[in-house]
Chain A
Amino acid sequence: MRIAILSDIHANREAFDAVLEAVHERGSPDELVLLGDLVGYGPDPIYVIEKAADLVADGALCILGNHDEAVALNLSNMTENARFAVQWTRKRITSAHVDFLARLPLSLQSGDRLYVHASAERPGKWPYIRDVDAAERCLSASDARFVFCGHTHIPAIYYALPGRRPMHFQPHDNVAAPLSEMRRHVVIAGAVGQPRDGNPAACFVLVDTQRQEATMVRVPYDHEETGRKIRAAGLPGWLGMRLKIGR
């Protein structure tokens, strides 16, 4: 079984399109997952929500992210740029778009895999998994063999043997990392629409359950165009700059 997992698209149309093209170039996956944060930061929320709705209609799974929740519920408990982008997004989308976001589930289980945007541990509080402790708490809140998260925008895999502390691994771009038969895993997908690991190329996860491998696939896209749109839309300039440097 092949699974493509796309997280943190953040209303970045160019990155989303490039990644979907890359997904289909590799043969249609058996499971397509949108792991939350469809909107926020980026200039194309309508395009991304509608595309996501189409994919869901075709069988894709889609999870709620903290930015999706903030847009749906008009929340303001975020950083200044994120708050600004939430308000900017709310002004542009229709109630149908808001409805789509509002109905997204916090997590979904499929087979031995749990999909959740931030962490299995108190998912609605949106904790970040940035270290072994957070990964350990995530695993102890679930019994799935694999927990797939996004939220940090930095790819990582945590491997945990029963009764032991997980180990952190930073997977190499485009190199398949092994999934171990005797361990549990937290796989942190890099971001499609706003990578922060120093590489501006969009990132998605490709899982092959037969080969027991997960690959952080990197897809270069026209981030200058996205940056231009961000400036033209009156969104904060830093949101364009960070796409360029991948931070």
Chain B
Amino acid sequence: MQRFEAGTVIDGFELVEKLPAGGMASLWRASNPLHDFPLVLKIPFLDPGGDVSVILGFEAEELILKRLTGPHVPRFAGAGSLSQIPFIAMEFVAGTGLADIVSNAPLPVDEVARIGAEIATALASLHRQKVVHLDLKPENVILAGRGAVLLDFGLARHAELPDLLGAESSVPMGTAAYISPEQVLGERSDPASDLFALGCILYQLATGEEPFGRPATFAGMKRRLYHAPRPPRDINDAIPRWLEAIILRCMEVDRSRRYAEAAHVLSDLRNPDQVVVARRKPPTEGAWAAIMKLFRKTDDRSLVGKPTLSRTQAGPSIVLAAVDLANGSDALAGEVLNETARVLASREDSWLACVTVLRTEIIGETPAADESGRPVYLKRLVALKDWAHPLHLPEDRISYHVLEAVSPADAILDYAEHNDVGHIVVGARASSAIRRHLGSVSTKVVAQALCSVSVVRLKTVEEQGRPL
């Protein structure tokens, strides 16, 4: 095996300093004048007769890392050929390792929510690029100035590439403390597996305990299919119900009950007041029922439910309907509602954020009450709920937001970006001289939104009078 030392140059990368690393590869700080960012070289240990999974993981990581972009992954700088010196060169990401933070758990609730939101943002970015990490754990997350950065794609899977790693192994791959139930059963394609791991991390941050310990055997890992971990609030009663609800929904064994998308976890972590807290089922089962359950043959596959991909591909997860209710619910508001219903219908678990904007003249000024003395905000909230009522959405699929802003368009855009909204529905008034001069809300939303936008306009009847 080749020895490396500081000063060794590999394909233009000069090794600078050896970093502490695990048993699969050595890590080196490196420099290369071709790259203007700090570098790290990962050199896998390839002993003859050694574990073949090392080389497979190396191949998988190179395959996937070089296809990823954005602030939530280290930048790819190059890779060495397997026939010469295999290595992966990537950006060295400065920041705080989540592993160091976890050792101080339990953390305050707002810290848990903030870190969770950062990881959820990173996962949303990764999943948008068709990649599932499949080994999310504190050791693989760095909290950097630019947000959470995910490391180590040695077990990852790209939806459009062959799973060269998975095909060679029949044992579950992942880390015992965080592996999802479907991964334990050998499935390696569902982004929801990363959300399960995120749930485990949040559990650990909030309680200071790992939900499943670190089972060393297959049977030990499989226990999580049948046995729920202790509810977080049983360990730490400072945890609010909403956070417990988010953690447990991430950790649902049945994927039809788990979050399907990181964006939804993010949205819930940022809007605790919108989280629906289910009443915990009292343990009504007697000893007899427990014994019956022991003998009933259950199919493990049916426990983990169907992959979430069929849901996530059907339509947008989060729909924002922006409705102008300043003059009550008019015909345009009705048409926005109809269009919203059509967009929501594409996906059974889509979630609707109803937004209306209370326009203020100056920043910070709030029209506190109307002539009758009722708070304007409350009045508008009631109107918003009344507007959405015909949709008959259950409360865990809808939320209401009265935003106070000088610019309605900016308020809508901010909300959409902050909550990773997948589709905006907005109304447009008929053209008028003032509107042409000032620019309409919908025009600005269309121009600047990061997602699809439906603009709803009432069909006018004036055209009939127009000369031909």
Partner-B contacts on A (CB < 8 A): 157, 159, 161, 164, 167, 169, 172, 175, 177-178, 180-183
Which A residues are in CB contact (< 8 Å) with B167? Answer: 159, 167
Cβ contact within 8 Å between B168 and A181: no
B369 within 8 A of A: no
Cβ contact within 8 Å between A182 and B160: no
Cα–Cα, bound, A172→B81 (Å): 26
Using A177-B161, A181-B59, A181-B81 as known contacts, list a sample of 11 further A-B pairs with CB atoms less than 8 Å apart, ordered by residue number in A.
A159-B162, A159-B164, A159-B167, A161-B168, A167-B162, A167-B167, A178-B161, A178-B164, A180-B59, A180-B164, A183-B164
Partner-A contacts on B (CB < 8 A): 55, 59, 63, 81-83, 160-162, 164, 167-168
5 closest residue pairs by CB, A with B: A169-B162, A167-B167, A181-B82, A172-B160, A175-B160
Cα–Cα, bound, A164→B59 (Å): 17
Contact partner of A167 among B59, B82, B164, CB < 8 A?
Answer: B164
- Can you list 21 A-B contacts with CB-CB less than 8 angstroms, sorted by A residue number? A159-B164, A161-B168, A164-B168, A167-B162, A167-B164, A169-B162, A172-B160, A175-B160, A177-B161, A177-B162, A178-B63, A180-B59, A180-B164, A181-B59, A181-B81, A181-B82, A181-B83, A182-B55, A182-B59, A182-B82, A183-B164
Contact partner of B162 among A157, A164, A181, A182, CB < 8 A?
Answer: A157
Cα–Cα, bound, A164→B81 (Å): 22
Chain A, residue nearest B59 (CB): A180
Number of A-B contacts (CB under 8 A): 29
Cα–Cα, bound, A183→B59 (Å): 11
Which B residues are in CB contact (< 8 Å) with A172? Answer: 160
Q: Distance (Å) between the CB of B85 and the closest chain A CB?
A: 13
Cα–Cα, bound, A178→B81 (Å): 14
Cα–Cα, bound, A180→B60 (Å): 10
Which B residues are in CB contact (< 8 Å) with A161? Answer: 168
Cα–Cα, bound, A131→B90 (Å): 38
Cα–Cα, bound, A157→B160 (Å): 13
Chain B, residue nearest A161 (CB): B168
Chain A, residue nearest B83 (CB): A181
Q: Distance (Å) between the CB of B160 and the closest chain A CB?
A: 5
Which B residues are in CB contact (< 8 Å) with A164? Answer: 168
Which B residues are in CB contact (< 8 Å) with A181? Answer: 59, 81-83
Cα–Cα, bound, A167→B83 (Å): 22
Which B residues are in CB contact (< 8 Å) with A178? Answer: 63, 161-162, 164
Cα–Cα, bound, A159→B60 (Å): 14
Chain A, residue nearest B162 (CB): A169
Which B residues are in CB contact (< 8 Å) with A169? Answer: 162
Q: Distance (Å) between the CB of A165 and the closest chain B CB?
A: 9
Cα–Cα, bound, A161→B55 (Å): 11
Q: Distance (Å) between the CB of A5 and the closest chain B CB?
A: 19
Chain B, residue nearest A164 (CB): B168
Cα–Cα, bound, A159→B164 (Å): 8
Cα–Cα, bound, A164→B170 (Å): 14
Cα–Cα, bound, A124→B161 (Å): 33
Chain A, residue nearest B86 (CB): A181
Cα–Cα, bound, A3→B423 (Å): 42
Which B residues are in CB contact (< 8 Å) with A180? Answer: 59, 164
Chain A, residue nearest B82 (CB): A181
Cα–Cα, bound, A17→B398 (Å): 53
Q: Distance (Å) between the CB of A163 and the closest chain B CB?
A: 10
Cα–Cα, bound, A211→B162 (Å): 16
Cα–Cα, bound, A161→B168 (Å): 9
Cα–Cα, bound, A157→B82 (Å): 21
Q: Distance (Å) between the CB of B262 and the closest chain A CB?
A: 23
Which A residues are in CB contact (< 8 Å) with B160? Answer: 172, 175
Cα–Cα, bound, A161→B165 (Å): 11
Q: Distance (Å) between the CB of A161 and the closest chain B CB?
A: 7
Which A residues are in CB contact (< 8 Å) with B55? Answer: 182
Which B residues are in CB contact (< 8 Å) with A159? Answer: 162, 164, 167
Chain A, residue nearest B63 (CB): A178
Cα–Cα, bound, A172→B160 (Å): 6
Cα–Cα, bound, A167→B162 (Å): 9
Chain A, residue nearest B159 (CB): A172
Which A residues are in CB contact (< 8 Å) with B63? Answer: 178
Chain B, residue nearest A173 (CB): B160
Most buried by A among B59, B161, B162: B162
Q: Distance (Å) between the CB of A72 and the closest chain B CB?
A: 37
Chain B, residue nearest A157 (CB): B162
Which A residues are in CB contact (< 8 Å) with B164? Answer: 159, 167, 178, 180, 183
Q: Distance (Å) between the CB of A169 and the closest chain B CB?
A: 4
Cα–Cα, bound, A167→B170 (Å): 13
Cα–Cα, bound, A183→B60 (Å): 13
Chain A, residue nearest B58 (CB): A182
Cα–Cα, bound, A185→B430 (Å): 61
Cα–Cα, bound, A177→B59 (Å): 14
Which A residues are in CB contact (< 8 Å) with B168? Answer: 161, 164, 167
Chain B, residue nearest A169 (CB): B162
Q: Distance (Å) between the CB of A185 and the closest chain B CB?
A: 10
Chain B, residue nearest A167 (CB): B167
Chain A, residue nearest B56 (CB): A161
Cα–Cα, bound, A180→B58 (Å): 12
Q: Distance (Å) between the CB of B165 and the closest chain A CB?
A: 10
Which A residues are in CB contact (< 8 Å) with B81? Answer: 181
Which A residues are in CB contact (< 8 Å) with B83? Answer: 181
Which B residues are in CB contact (< 8 Å) with A167? Answer: 162, 164, 167-168
Which B residues are in CB contact (< 8 Å) with A157? Answer: 162
Chain B, residue nearest A183 (CB): B164
Cα–Cα, bound, A70→B161 (Å): 38
